[in-house]
Amino acid sequence: MKFFVDTANLEEIREANDMGVLDGVTTNPSLVKAEGNVDFHERVLEICETVDGDISAEVTATEFDGMMEEAHTLAQIHDNVVVKIPLIKDGIKALRALDDEGIPTNCTLCFSPTQALLAAKAGADYISPFIGRIDDISSDGMTLIEEIRQIYDNYSFETDILAASIRHPTHVKRAALAGADVATMPFETMMKLLEHPLTDRGLERFLADWEDYKETREEPVPSSA
């Protein structure tokens, strides 16, 4: 499974990248807004120059011509840019057109298996099911991952399943078990993957024993000439 971080914050991206486990980044208008007064296209370029992997950048247009114009602008920023397209009718048309042009795409805001099927048929490189938002309405987002995985396997679609709207480590674990190709998550969630109380307790004990060892170990007596 590939790990993407879902953010537009360069400090978080650099720290995640330094761990050596980061495969890419996803962004959206809400994440860029959270960064304050930054230029969107400049920030996308900075991210691309930081991470050697796919960087999803989202269009804001909702009609075909506008999506295509924005997609072309984004694709020119860097070879690593993957254009995020919303899962609406004109978005499906844009996915097909961009696939024909060889521009990689990430189809976002997926909430059903049939939506994912349409996106794959249109040539999307990634499909982004939003599992956390489905959980928010008292459904099981992980079931969606499992159903998309089965459909894609049934028909040998090459579209990668990118589990999005991840809220906690259990989402990451269950997405991996369900066969998602990618998990994109907030930086805070990625850091929580490291945490376990027994790890902390074990490390604390090892360090305490090492200090005791150093204090109690007798120095060897020098031999007489």
Question: Which residues are known catalytic residues?
Answer: 84
- CA geometry: angle at 105 spanning 59 and 46, to 5°? 65
For residue 160, the tally of other CB atoms under 10 A from its CB is 18
Read off the tokens for 186: 């907030």
For residue 72, the tally of other CB atoms under 10 A from its CB is 13
Bridge partners of 160?
126
CB distance 20 to 178 below 8 Å: no
* Helix 40-50 vs helix 64-75: crossing angle, to nearest 10: 50
